[in-house]
Chains A and B, each alone.
Chain A
Amino acid sequence: MSRHLPIVAVTPFPAAAAHELKDAQLRANLGRATRTIRDKRARVVAEVPDWEELRERAARTKDEVLDRLPELLAAFEAAAVGAGAVVHHAADAAAANAIVADLVRQQGAERVVKIKSMATQEIGLNEALADAGITAIETDLAELIVQLADDTPSHILVPAIHYNRAQIREIFAERMPGFTAESDEPAVLAGAAREYLRRTFLSAQVAVCGANFAVAETGSLVIVESEGNGRMCLTLPGTLIAVVGVEKLLPRMADLGDFLRLLPRSSTGERMNPYTSIFTGVTPGDGPQRLHVVLLDNGRTKTAQDPVGRAALRCIRCSACLNVCPVYERTGGHAYGSVYPGPIGAILSPQLTGQDAGANRSLPYASTLCGACYDVCPVKINIPEILVHLRQTGPKPAAERAVMSTLSWVMRDRRRWRAALRAARTGAAPLRAVTRRHGGTLRRAPWPMTAWTAHRDAPLPAPESFRDWWRRTHAE
């Protein structure tokens, strides 16, 4: 099966973005939604006096996990197995999908219910299960909307952020069995989804989940959610399969508190999330009687070896960085061509896949390096620094390479620089008369500045450079 991984962009970001930018409705939906979430986040974060210390400590905890990865994985496995779970290791997406499909088949099930999980999105589990004749049903409301629409998620936390409620009503009317409502009131739409999902939960034998955290000390998995659908999935079906990225580990149960304070405020702007489920192994007569944990690598061990890039693995998928990103706000998630969009996607997808995969090399350039993401990240990932690092280590066009090294050569010597300034000034002189009409700026420039003047006027070299002015006025 050679379907491309859902973290490999097919179209380079600039082209994908150009397509999304044409959609005025999308931009309006995104602008409204991200502004609401980021204002809410800012309010509740401001309430926490020790927010900066929390961030520091959480970053350190996650770095400890990366430093001790093999050891903590072994500890987690031992504890989980001791509590009755079965632990599997998957080196990549194909291996993980095969393990899950086999486990579902062993139960003789044709359907599974799913809790929203980025790890299963990343490996394209639903599609792989479909190939194996198994139907996966998403039970998170937004994820369900996206699934019914036959679309892909456009946000980590709010996968249907690109739709407004009128569009959601249409999707339900067309695709949800038994949906008849005329209204697009949120309560009506949520009610319809609830009824549909209840029927599904009660008949499911197998549930598939991810995990927000995996505690090495106790072998416990932690799932944080808002709707209660997760609680249903975790308790009703007899078999539960968790697909967990290896970086989701926490060394100790005592570390969890910091993260449970950081995550909801950063992601939904709530002081606390409505449902937090912590479960360890199997308890006879209570909840699922078969618990499988699939520990997923898929590029993580390799990423953990890059001294700069590894910080991306601290990510707890809160999506605060998406909500403040001016690029994300204009393009939406689809432009990133990965289930990980926005700033975190721009550093995570190319690292997990390698920069040569598809068009992923274009992602580190999908940022102005404005730094808004770094400011809000609850685990202090210096996203701009990693973006620059990936640009520096990734492939680059030969023509650009030549221009850059010539430029640097010219600039490393003041005589060469002065000559270049003079040449630029002479070259621009004829243009000066043309541009005088609109304040001395250039409306249409020749290549390579055509992309610049497509959106804005270009400045011209000054009639007298600063250094010439200095010489004229300050030289002894």
Chain B
Amino acid sequence: MRIALFVTCLNDALFPQAGIATVAVLERLGHTVAFPPEQTCCGQLHANTGYARPARELERHTEAAFAGHDVIVSPSGSCAAHLRAHTALPVYELSELLVDVLGVTDVGARFPHRVTYHPTCHGLRMLRLGDRPQRLLRAVSGLELIDLPEPEQCCGFGGTFALKNAGVSGAMLADKCANAAATGAEYLAAADNSCLAHIGGGLARRPGAPRPIHYAEILAGTGARA
């Protein structure tokens, strides 16, 4: 199948590994990935911060960039949710594409580590991903999936909320990090690098806490990590 990748602006600039991993998984499964080069940002940040017009312009820009593509995948739950709500593009979050469209749960990965999974709010409540990501992770060879306590609690990121309401965001983050640390996992995985940048930034200040990782990188894994 020919699948267009919407990598998202955040991954493009800060976390290219998530995009690279998405490409690796899909190519390993025998699919062709396209990267429409006009793509930039879906407009979510603008819309949620209160800027309707620039948001609409970016939504239209994204629609134009992906015109003619029948299947679009994004390694970001919140951007996929935003595009689905505001454009007519056929966008899937990675786990939806793998489980629902391509019908696979075992992507042939190996990742011999203890992992806990944080279901981000957009994945949980807007896309209703359910346990698709966990099913994919459980099929990874060598991976031990450890339940995260209070998984459905928001991590406190919320886009500009993390800046505008830094105090509350920090308090929510502290609880999420404590729950993550309590699992004893080596990695905390999620489907959204925006939440992971926030949680990871908190975990970085706790010695011995799990390291943040996008679950696509786990699905692309072929062995132990340093």
Contact = CB atoms under 8 A, between A and B. Distances in A.
Interface stretch (B180-188, B196-204, B217-225): B196-204
A285 interface: no
Contact of A466 (B19, B172, B173, B200): B19
Interface stretch (A3-11, A100-108, A365-373): A365-373
A331 B167 CA distance: 10
A12 to B, nearest CB: 10
A392 B50 contact: yes
A228 to B, nearest CB: 36
Nearest to B81: A371
A118 to B, nearest CB: 24
A424 B9 CA distance: 13
Contacts of B90: none
B163 A448 contact: yes
A391 B162 contact: no
A388 B211 contact: no
Interface stretch (A52-60, A202-210, A236-244, A408-416): A408-416
Given A392-B50, A408-B54, A452-B162, A465 B16 contact: yes
Contact of A441 (B163, B167, B173, B200): B200
Nearest to B196: A459
A372 B125 CA distance: 7
Interface in A150-180: none
Contact of B13 (A17, A394, A421, A451): A421
A458 interface: yes
A326 B204 contact: no
Contacts of A252: none
A388 B51 contact: no
B204 A461 contact: no
B166 A455 contact: yes
Interface stretch (B98-106, B131-139, B151-159): B151-159
Interface residues of A, number: 63
Contacts, number: 190
Contacts of B12: 421, 465-467
Interface residues of B, number: 67
A369 B50 contact: no
Interface string B1-44: 00000010101111111011001000000000101011111010
A454 B160 CA distance: 14
Interface string A131-152: 0000000000000000000000
A457 interface: yes
A430 interface: no
Nearest to B167: A18
B189 to A, nearest CB: 16
B167 A370 contact: no
Contacts of A371: 121-122, 124-126
A2 interface: no
Nearest to A387: B48
Interface in A433-473: 438-439, 441, 443, 448, 451-462, 464-467, 469-470
B114 interface: no
B78 to A, nearest CB: 9
A326 B46 contact: no
B14 A460 contact: yes
Contacts of B152: 372
B50 A372 contact: no
A210 B133 CA distance: 48
Contacts of A369: 48, 121, 158-159, 161
A220 B58 CA distance: 51
A462 B50 contact: no
B40 A411 contact: yes
A330 interface: yes
B165 interface: yes
Given A14-B167, A411-B9, A457 B158 contact: no
Nearest to B20: A469
Nearest to A401: B51
B201 A368 contact: no
Contact of A21 (B14, B156, B167): B167
A69 interface: no
A474 B154 CA distance: 37
Residue from A330, A400, A443 with most neighbouring chain B CB atoms (10 Å): A330
Contacts of B162: 451-452, 455
A201 interface: no
A443 B205 CA distance: 9
A195 interface: no
Given A394-B50, A417-B40, A462 B13 contact: yes
A440 to B, nearest CB: 9
B167 A439 contact: no
Given A404-B49, A455-B166, 19 more contacts: A13-B165, A21-B171, A327-B165, A370-B125, A371-B121, A372-B125, A392-B51, A404-B51, A411-B9, A411-B41, A411-B61, A412-B57, A451-B163, A455-B173, A466-B16, A467-B35, A469-B19, A470-B19, A474-B33
Interface of A: 13-14, 17-18, 21, 27, 326-327, 330-331, 364-372, 374-375, 388, 391-392, 394, 396, 400-401, 404-405, 407-408, 411-414, 417, 421, 424, 438-439, 441, 443, 448, 451-462, 464-467, 469-470, 474
24 contacts: A14-B164, A18-B167, A330-B171, A365-B160, A367-B158, A368-B156, A368-B159, A368-B169, A369-B158, A370-B125, A370-B158, A371-B122, A372-B121, A388-B48, A392-B50, A411-B58, A412-B58, A421-B12, A451-B166, A454-B166, A466-B7, A466-B11, A469-B20, A470-B35
Q: Which 9 A-B pairs have the closest CB atoms?
A: A368-B158, A456-B201, A391-B50, A408-B54, A455-B170, A370-B154, A371-B125, A466-B16, A370-B121
